[in-house]
Amino acid sequence: MLLPRFPATRFQGSKRKILPELAELLHAEPCNSIIDLYSGSGIVSLLFRFMGKRVLANDYLRYNQNTARLFLSHTAEDFKGLTAEADLAYLLNHRESTFKSTVAEAFAGIYFKDAENLEIDNFCQNIQGFSGFKKALYTYAVGQALIKKRPYNLFHRANLDMRLKDVKRSFGNAKTWETATQVHALKCIQELARFPSPEGQAHQALRVDTANLAPLPVDYDVVYLDPPYMNDKSVPVNYSNFYHFLEGLCDYSLFQHGDARYPHRPIVNLGSPWHKKASALDNIGAICRHFSQSRLVMSYRSDGTPTPAEIQAAMQACGRQVEIRTVRGYQYALSKNTGNEEIFIVAR
């Protein structure tokens, strides 16, 4: 299947690079409807929409839900006559007499320069006057811009000084960090505008913590799982900690509640079954049982914790037939597991 160019993303663990392989796998696994249970950057949901599936995206972070909703609903019509440059200039710079400097005060010297923090305050207050497509689009675009302007593209450390130090760097990209939020955001909008948006299908984007699956519908043909990665030393990727700051773009009041016990002042701090081995395996069992009518397709890495063999056993214990293959389509030999390879685990 020939795929169009998907919008760029610096989201940690994005599956953008393996979209062709995922598309190929789903061709062999015919289905009309699919859940993207851990949608992250939204790029996989966008692929499923492009493939003509009815899609339900889910992620427990607000910003990711906003992106998925945008990716599953935008149309070419929405971009016609859009004055993105002027809208962004207004959103990032306009200041009402009732202006509040919540971010500038609470996050001074932590992630962004003072003037950049004030832009974020402006944005969060001005975006309240927008709704629907435009609100979702500008929130997405400004969030992507902020990710690009961060060392490591994350919000897990109070390390603005890394950007400001006048040293020769062997990492990062000083030019990208110093590029204006508006410039990054506009580029991001232009990329999405170029992406085709097929008609039809009623998609949705939810924000459900998979620790409690009850709110999720059970009548989808396939459930695609790309949970947070835990490495072979059981060190998890904590997405809530990595991206908490973006939650404030979706709910400005959160910026008032940064946790001052930590230098990086997280504004949300969510646990996940995927932060510990035992709860991850329990979650796999719960997912198999909840979606008993659905086939499961899981993206995983061969050196992950739990191991692929442990995940296979947990799925088999729920009566599933399990096939593990490499992303390139080869049979994956559990016994020869060395290195760190992207794999698919399919449970029928």
Q: Which 209-228 residues touch ligand SAM, going by CB under 6 A?
A: 209-211, 226-228
CA-nearest of 158, 61, 156, 151 to 107 is 158
Q: How far is the CB of 6 from ligand SAM (least distance, A)?
A: 10
| Contact flag: residue 143 with ligand SAM (CB under 6 A) | no
Stretch near ligand SAM under the rule CB under 6 A, chosen from 91-99, 102-110, 183-191, 204-212: 204-212
Stretch near ligand SAM under the rule CB under 6 A, chosen from 21-29, 40-48, 94-102, 285-293: 40-48
What is the full DSSP assignment across 39-85? -TTSHHHHHHHHTT-EEEEE-SSHHHHHHHHHHTT--HHHHTT--HH
Residue 34: φ, ψ to 5°: -150, 140
* Residue position matching structure tokens 């020769």: 168
- Residue closer to ligand SAM (CB basis): 38 or 140: 38
Q: How far is the CB of 249 from ligand SAM (least distance, A)?
A: 15
- Residue closer to ligand SAM (CB basis): 118 or 287: 287
Residue 339: φ, ψ to 5°: 70, -160
| Contact flag: residue 305 with ligand SAM (CB under 6 A) | no
Q: How far is the CB of 244 from ligand SAM (least distance, A)?
A: 10
| Contact flag: residue 38 with ligand SAM (CB under 6 A) | yes
CA-nearest of 40, 43, 145 to 91 is 145
| Contact flag: residue 64 with ligand SAM (CB under 6 A) | yes
Residue 178: φ, ψ to 5°: -90, -10
Q: ∠ at Cα 300 (297, 302), nearest 5°?
A: 135
Contact track, ligand SAM, 255-284, x by CB under 6 A: -----------------xxx----------
CA dihedral 106, 112, 117, 119 (to 10 degrees): -160
- Residue closer to ligand SAM (CB basis): 116 or 247: 247
- Residue closer to ligand SAM (CB basis): 14 or 181: 14
Residue type present at position 214: A
Euclidean distance between CA atoms 174 and 161, whole angstroms: 12
Give the other-Cβ count within 10 Å of 125's Cβ.
Answer: 18
- Residue closer to ligand SAM (CB basis): 70 or 84: 70
- Residue closer to ligand SAM (CB basis): 84 or 281: 281
- Residue sitting closest to ligand SAM (CB): 40
Q: How far is the CB of 63 from ligand SAM (least distance, A)?
A: 9
- Whether 125 and 93 have beta carbons less than 8 Å apart is answered as no
Residue type present at position 281: L
Q: How far is the CB of 17 from ligand SAM (least distance, A)?
A: 9
Count of residues binding ligand SAM (CB under 6 A)?
23
Helix (H, G, I), strand (E, B) or coil at 35: strand
20, containing H or E segment:
helix 19-27
Residue ranges that bind ligand SAM, judged by CB under 6 A? 11, 13-15, 38, 40-41, 43-44, 59-61, 64, 209-211, 226-228, 239, 272-274
